[in-house]
A and B are shown apart, each in its own frame.
Chain A
Amino acid sequence: MQRFSAFALLAKSLGGHQGWSRQWRLATPKDAYDVVIVGGGGHGLATAYYLARNHGITNVAVLEKGWLGGGNVARNTTIVRSNYLWDESAALYEHSLKLWEDLSQDLNYNVMLSQRGVLNLAHSLQEVRDSRRRVYANQLNGVDAEWLDRGGVKVFCPLINTDESLRYPVLGATLQRRAGTARHDAVAWGFARAADSRGVDIVENCEVTGFDIQGGRVTGVQTTRGAIRAPKVAIVVAGHGSVMAERAGFRLPLESHPLQALVSEPIKPVLDCVVMSNAVHVYVSQSDKGELVIGAGIDSYNSYAQRGSLPVVTSQLGALIALFPMFSRLKMMRNWGGIVDVSPDASPIVGKTPIDGLYFNGGWGTGGFKATPGSGHIFAHTIAHEDPHPLAAPFNLDRFSTGALVDEHGAAAVAH
């Protein structure tokens, strides 16, 4: 791997940048691997990377049906935070946030983590109660969290309209200062490059069409580029979890929905933190490119088409202008959608499946980007040890039959 650094950039400049080589090899699939990972999104690539880095398992292929990182990893609004309500979630996302904090150095790729703080606004007395409860729980879980009253919100983010005249006035907010955003493409490419350099084959344009299963044990996959044998196969396909499960012959409690995002035209820096609101449903941050990055909730129907409906957009912009009246004259420049798999308790499913050797990681819904390094890390451990990583254990598939849910829908109710 060519190391990246300011010095390398300078040196290569002298040669007109002719000296750079591919960031990852153009791999053709081999007949067999120790582990096949289905899905070249953030989580799949991170899994491959940590398999190689932490467990010495390098005979690994990542099979991606389209172009690398063309799924949700490149479509999301890049919010990274760990202030989840329940112990199990807080532990998982905090683990991930810690990995994020060193990720650029670890991958030798600037993923542009930007810890500019995330505000979650509260607009009703009940939201205030729920928010404070989350803050108190976060604090005891070692997650940095603060409660700001209305005045505190105004100080931290003067742009927010905290006026009483708002239909649902801002009563306060939770703040996680270590939270923020990252550059999504860089995450996919950085993991790909780092995994590749450790020997992982990254195979694009290779769709997994079926699984070879003998006696309840997986032996390989069928792909559009032929059959590939592997004693361990990991499904990490974000919005297509149940499609894959069906091909392997089991069912998952997942619903697939479009989730949209949009950006404004680039403007000079004006918003310095991430602002999220559930009651006035919208969230927004400003990217390093100057675009306001905006999102809200899922389109309520099920779909695999990567686009959504206009009313979802118009309602979130009404909410945006309520909170930021000076954004009204800005313009929506791009609007897109991705497909997210939502589980009944809004928590992911990570671990074993009813088929031996077949592992599943998905159901991250609207908020899996922040988990990318953490998810890959614990999933790699789970695959390597054939036993769930302690942080992954609560997120097993069985919980839907035992009832041991990690319900981030109800009181927590903060998506993304």
Chain B
Amino acid sequence: MTATRPANLRAPPVRARGGDWVDDTRPIAVSFDGRAYTGLAGDTLASALLANGVRVVGRSLKYHRPRGILSAGFEEPNALVQLGKGAHSEPNALATRVEIYDGMTATSVNRWPSLSHDVFAAFGLLARFMPAGFYYKTFLGSRVLWDRLYEPFLRRMAGFGRAPVGADPENYDQRHLQCDVLVVGGGVAGLASARAACASGARVVLIEDNPELAAGLAASPAKEWIDVAIGVVKQDATVLTRTTVFGAYDAGYFAALQRASDHLPQEARAGVRQRLWLIRAKQVVLATGAIERPLVFPNNDRPGVYLAGAARAYLDRFGVLVGRNVVAFTNNDETYATVIALKKAGAAIAAIVDVRANLTGGAVALAKHEGIRVLEGYVVVDVRGRSAVRGVTIAALDGGRREKIACDALLMSGGWSPAVHLFSQQGGKLIYDPGMAAFVPDRRPADPWCAGALCGETGVDAAITGGWRAGSSAATALGKPAPRGLTAELPDEPKGDAPLAFWRVPVAPSAERKCFIDFQNDSTLADVSLAVREGFTHPEHVKRYTLTGFGTDQGKTGNINALGNIAERTGGDLARLAPTTFRPPFLPVTFGALAGREKGALLDPVRVTALHDWHVAAGAAFENVGQWKRPWYYPKDGETLDQAVTRECLAVRNNVGILDASTLGKIEIVGADAAAFLNRVYTNAWSKLGVGRSRYGLMCREDGMLFDDGTTTRLAPDRFLMTTTTGNAAAVLDWLEEWLQTEWPDLKVYCTSVTDHWSTIALAGPRAREVLQCLAPGTALDAENFPFMSYQEVVVAGVAARVFRISFTGELSFEINVPWHDARHVWEAAITAGAAFGITPYGTEAMHVLRAEKGYPIIGQDTDGTVTPLDLGMAWAVSTKKDFLGKRSLARPDTARPDRKQFVGLLTSDPSRVIPEGAQIVSESNIADVRLPQSSPVPMEGHVTSSYFSAVLGRSIALALVRDGFRRTGETVYAVADGHAIAARIGPTVFYDPDGTRRDG
């Protein structure tokens, strides 16, 4: 294997032999910090770099200490890299998880200008001035300096990688899965669980984070059993690898992220990058394993200090030896097997330093038998070497002998913490197990099943037995038959010595600053000590004060050491300290995957009417109204909005206009109690409305404030067609259903949305009747036979239509409802027939102007949830006889006040000036000084809700809500916006055809 080696980094690791995961025959070229390296197919970026002798892969957050690879998996705090470039870039990728592919580029982060020469490393020298929380105590002198200097500097120093530049070019997917038994974790325990559950006939999903099941067990005596099990499970269960269950939610709901094509070169990626799996499981087996923890001693963060299990993983999976001359520092037996494996692979073992004394178990005996020097009751008190380990200083725990030992790698193990994250996310309780020196699931009946290292079943045989038990329990809990017995012949494992809880090497206070607890955030033993000294003794307080556990690794390795040291420092009992809450996600999850396809233009569905294509062809500009696209105006060559609206308005007033009103909500209300129901939800009375008649109705919330309006027509004695505003259609239906289902289940009423069933074409203008007559020859359309506010079934352009004589423009108007698929035909027929009458399509903007000329309010524009029907001057539509929703609230003293803000018209003194909508109303007496900025509040009396230039009136008009407005007719007030005041006179809201003769004609 060839490698270009950075001169400043020394490089003992070597590829000793083939590993389970790598393919010796397939070299892969990658680049790190601009240098080319060669790895093997199957390597992670970390294993490839290690094989090439790269030690330093990053810099720590605060002190910019050189950092190397600590772990071999998702718990990694140090090896954060920026992967790829440009829009494909990914910040904070873990080198220990990234699978390499040809052409991969990665760069180190949080250093300047380069990893080996980082000027900010000077902060290491200032460490003593920057203890935990130092920023709370400083930068207090000057607000200006804080704003301009200190905070910008702190911000610059924060963060690791960079956000990509440009939109994400890749896609993400979401899929749903249901199963009987979900097994999380594809180690031996999970494998055994899945196998047992499959054997009972359960539908099983097995999810594993690694690319392979039962990772790294090729050398295990149970290999044969494992291979068979993998074969069976892959056949009988749904197996998802490269997939992380990151969230456990209520009612058996789990979320997992699959890295579908991250391991492939960019050009080979087809389809989705990552996939979100949303899983509903009846039973769950957690076999999530355990995470090794570091030991806490001075300079435990140096590049070349590894978790012992990681050294084993690099050897077994990738054939990489992390050192040629190794010291191990441990408190448990597992390390011994690792050390022996390294020795067998060719490493020299300088010593095993064990905090425990008087060891009698098999593991130790075996090591000694191998001729390894074991120092019992010893600890490492210092590590030499800045960017690579050169040696360690050890000392007897009882304070006696010290010795320097040369080495090029230090393995450490502080024992194993069960990966209780998902268990805890589901509400499971944890207890401290002194035998394991760890928090473990305190299993209660309703909790998920647990297996393997998660519950202390270490060792392959224990994991298989435990896993089988959990899997069969899960299946039988669902009434499945118990699977037939576990057939593996498993060798006994030797009895060993128990681990010893050991939270720190005793050191002088001055050395605590070098004992790292959270590697990523540079939280040290000194920081925990300081926090406790200052009264931050609750684990949550320590976490927040020292930032322990706040990094991308969320304290997977460090939190337990923090906890142990809090207990020691406070003299408390570790068993009584609760770990900080575990919440989703277990591992960081890509935003894009969580968003799935619902982003950008697909954020929300687009709803278009049956006439949409016609509008597009006619060159309409569109407005979003709720989810709908509505024609806003139809500019003719080069027209501005104002010009088009003027033309459209005048066409309606003088000839005839045509509007696509299909988006208005339509709800059919059917049943024996339909009229009674309407009586309760509308403010006015409905019982006496005759069949074939329409009525305008107002709806209030319980608080008496207007919620929606519209006309409703009686189609038959027990059948009404309600219309709602476009934006509120769904909310109104919800509202009706809520009352029917929760409060009035006794009413015999059904509500059905028919918005999309009927297209609505409105003809409005003095010549509307003539146009309709052309389309419906022979139908009597005169005012006597078809009066205002009535309804008839008419054949229009050959289509059976529902025609309503209602008007939102104040002109003679017919609203023609035809089935959705006939709309285009009828619309075009109307356009053709109307040509002779000057028919003009008009959009929402003209509609708004036309209705404002008539003083018709738009709910949501002229009202804002604080306006009652009476405030709008619509007492005529509020029954005093019957009860209705909101009626009681209208009687509340403030709501019944006569001087509330009321709906009035405003005419500017200068008829050409159009008041900006939203302008605030200020009375004459307060207008003296409305210049900006305002230092003390100016009393405001209301605001302008709608304001336009009216073409037909040749002047501006406005509608406003003004305090005590009804009584102030004739008063001049000022509409203030951006420091400008416009004088206007209060008057009636109806500016045009106040008697309604045009409408009724």
Interface residues of A (CB under 8 A from B): 4-6, 8-10, 13, 16-18, 20-26, 67-68, 70, 74, 87, 90-91, 101, 104-105, 108-110, 112, 114-115, 123-126, 129-137, 139-142, 144, 147, 165-168, 183, 185-186, 189-190, 204, 264-270, 280, 286-290, 307, 309-310, 313-315, 317-322, 325-336, 344, 399, 401-405, 407, 409-411
Contact = CB atoms under 8 A, between A and B. Distances in A.
Interface in B569-586: 581, 583-585
Contact of A110 (B137, B253, B535): B137
Top 7 closest pairs, chain A to chain B, by CB: A410-B865, A290-B159, A133-B918, A403-B892, A325-B167, A411-B864, A328-B168
B603 interface: yes
B137 A331 contact: no
Contacts of A24: 535
A329 B136 contact: no
A70 B591 contact: no
Interface in B550-577: 550-552, 554
14 contacts: A8-B137, A105-B143, A126-B860, A139-B978, A140-B976, A167-B601, A265-B160, A266-B92, A268-B156, A318-B603, A328-B590, A329-B89, A399-B894, A403-B704
Contact of A9 (B129, B166, B547): B129
Interface stretch (B354-362, B774-782, B933-941): B933-941
Nearest to B161: A267
Interface string B397-419: 00000000000000000000000
A328 B603 contact: no
Contacts of B894: 399, 402-405
Contact of B136 (A130, A189, A317): A189
B246 to A, nearest CB: 9
Given A8-B137, A136-B919, A410-B866, 10 more contacts: A110-B135, A124-B623, A136-B977, A140-B930, A185-B544, A268-B160, A318-B603, A322-B600, A401-B892, A403-B892
Interface in B251-276: 253, 255, 276
B421 to A, nearest CB: 12
Contacts of A20: 530, 533-534
Contact of B526 (A17, A317, A407): A17
Nearest to B254: A310
B165 A288 contact: no
Contacts of A4: 136-138, 140
A326 B167 contact: yes
A264 B249 CA distance: 20
A84 B549 CA distance: 37
Given A115-B147, A325-B168, A327-B163, A317 B255 contact: no
Interface in B335-386: none
B594 interface: yes
B937 A136 contact: no
A87 B976 CA distance: 15
B139 A314 contact: no
Contacts of A108: 140
Nearest to A271: B163
Contacts of B168: 321, 325-326, 328-329
A74 B91 contact: no
B977 A410 contact: no
Q: How large is the interface on B (under 10, 10 to 19, 20 to 34, 35 or more residues)?
A: 35 or more
Contacts of B68: none
A82 B202 CA distance: 57
B933 A318 contact: no
A6 B141 contact: yes
B892 A137 contact: no
A146 B116 CA distance: 47
A135 B164 CA distance: 34
Counting chain A CB atoms within 10 Å of each CB, the highest count among B168, B536, B864 belongs to: B864
Contacts of A269: 155-156, 158-159
Contacts of A5: 137-138, 140-141
A128 to B, nearest CB: 8
A9 B533 contact: no
B154 interface: yes
B117 interface: no
B1000 interface: no
Given A332-B594, A334-B554, A140 B922 contact: yes
A144 B136 CA distance: 28
Contact of B158 (A266, A325, A409): A266
A124 B626 CA distance: 9
Given A108-B140, A318-B595, A403-B895, A326 B918 contact: no
Contacts of B163: 267-268, 270, 326-327, 329-330
B128 interface: yes
Contacts of B165: 326
B916 interface: yes
From A101, A183, A327, residue with most partner B Cβ within 10 Å = A327
A156 B248 CA distance: 40
A331 B129 contact: no
A89 B541 CA distance: 33
B242 to A, nearest CB: 16
B509 interface: yes
B892 to A, nearest CB: 3
A290 B602 contact: no
A112 B703 contact: no
Contacts of A26: 535
B190 interface: no
Contact of B603 (A9, A141, A313, A319): A319
B2 interface: no
B64 to A, nearest CB: 14
Interface string B593-607: 011101111111010
B935 A332 contact: no
Contacts of B92: 265-267, 331
Given A6-B141, A167-B601, A407-B865, A288 B158 contact: yes
B17 interface: no
A104 B935 CA distance: 24
Interface in B696-717: 703-705
Nearest to B513: A16
A124 B583 contact: no
A288 B156 CA distance: 9
Contacts of B864: 130, 407, 410-411
Interface string B167-196: 110000010000000000000000000000
Given A104-B140, A141-B934, A290-B160, A16 B918 contact: no
A8 B139 CA distance: 12
A220 to B, nearest CB: 27
Contact of A167 (B160, B552, B603): B603
A349 B575 CA distance: 41
Nearest to B585: A332
Given A142-B935, A320-B595, A268 B166 contact: no
Contact of A140 (B131, B585, B937): B937
A23 B895 CA distance: 50
B920 interface: yes
Nearest to B596: A314
**Which of A17, A124, A328, A401 is most buried by chain B, counting CB atoms within 10 A of its CB?**
A328
Interface string B115-132: 000000000000011010
A334 B861 CA distance: 39
B595 A317 contact: yes
A144 B140 CA distance: 25
B435 interface: no
B509 A18 contact: yes
B624 A124 contact: yes
A16 B249 contact: no
Interface string B928-966: 001011111110100100000000000000000000000
A67 B920 contact: no
A309 B247 CA distance: 10
A267 B91 contact: yes
B893 interface: yes
Contacts of A264: 591
A201 B596 CA distance: 50
